[in-house]
Amino acid sequence: MITKAQIMVFKRSADTLYSSADYTSATILYFKTLFAVQDFLLLEETGESPKDHNARFRSLEKNFPKLFKELDIEFTTYRDTYSKIIDKETCDRIKRIVENDIKQYNVAQEPEGDIGKGPEDN
C-alpha cells in the first residue's frame, strides 16, 4: 500500500536528481511519483490499487477523468525515458504536473511519516 510519506520520498529523490541536472533520471522519478499519487488516490476512492499501467488507465478513466487525460497526454513521454535523453523543458513539464497534483489532491507527507527524512529534516 502506497503512503503519502512514500510519495514524498519519491518526489524528494526526483528533486535531488533535478538539481544535479540529470533530467532523464529526474523525469523517471517524477513519473514514479505521479503513478504513486494516482495509485494512492485510486486506493482511497475504490479500495483497490492498480496492478499495472493498463489497470491504472482504466481506473483513472472511470474515477478521475482529469488525471486520466493528463496521463494519457504524457504517457509517451514516460515511454521515451526508456530510450531517449530527456531535456530540461520536458522534465520541467512533468515536474509541474506532479507538483500540481500533490497540491490539488492534498497529497503531502503525513505528520507521523518520517520515512526518507534526512538529518537536515529533523
We report the CATH number of the domain holding residue 46 as: 1.20.120
Domain membership flag for residue 122? no
Domain membership flag for residue 77? yes
Q: How many independent structural domains does the chain possess?
A: 1
The amino acid at 57: F
Domain membership flag for residue 116? no
In whole numbers, what is the pLDDT of the chain averaged over residues?
91
Domain membership flag for residue 88? yes
98-116: pLDDT as tens digits: 999 999 999 987 555 444 4
The Cα angle at residue 10 between residues 6 and 15, in degrees rounded to 5:
140
> Given a cut of 50, is residue 33 above it in pLDDT?
yes
The three cell numbers of residue 75 are 504517457
> What single string gives the DSSP state of each residue in 49-103?
--SSHHHHHHHHHHH-HHHHHHHHHHHHHHHHTTTSPPPHHHHHHHHHHHHHHHH
A 10 A CB-CB count for 118 gives 7
Distance between first and last Cα of the chain: 25
pLDDT, position 34: 98
Domain membership flag for residue 97? yes
Distance from the Cα of residue 96 to its chain's centroid? 11
38-94: pLDDT as tens digits: 999 999 999 999 999 999 999 999 999 999 999 999 999 999 999 999 999 999 999
Domain encompassing residue 77: 4-106
pLDDT, position 111: 56
What is the band of 117 on the pLDDT scale with cuts at 50, 70, 90? very low
Domain membership flag for residue 18? yes
pLDDT, position 108: 84
Across the range 11-15, mean pLDDT stands at 98
CA-closest candidate to residue 56, choices 80, 34, 82: 34
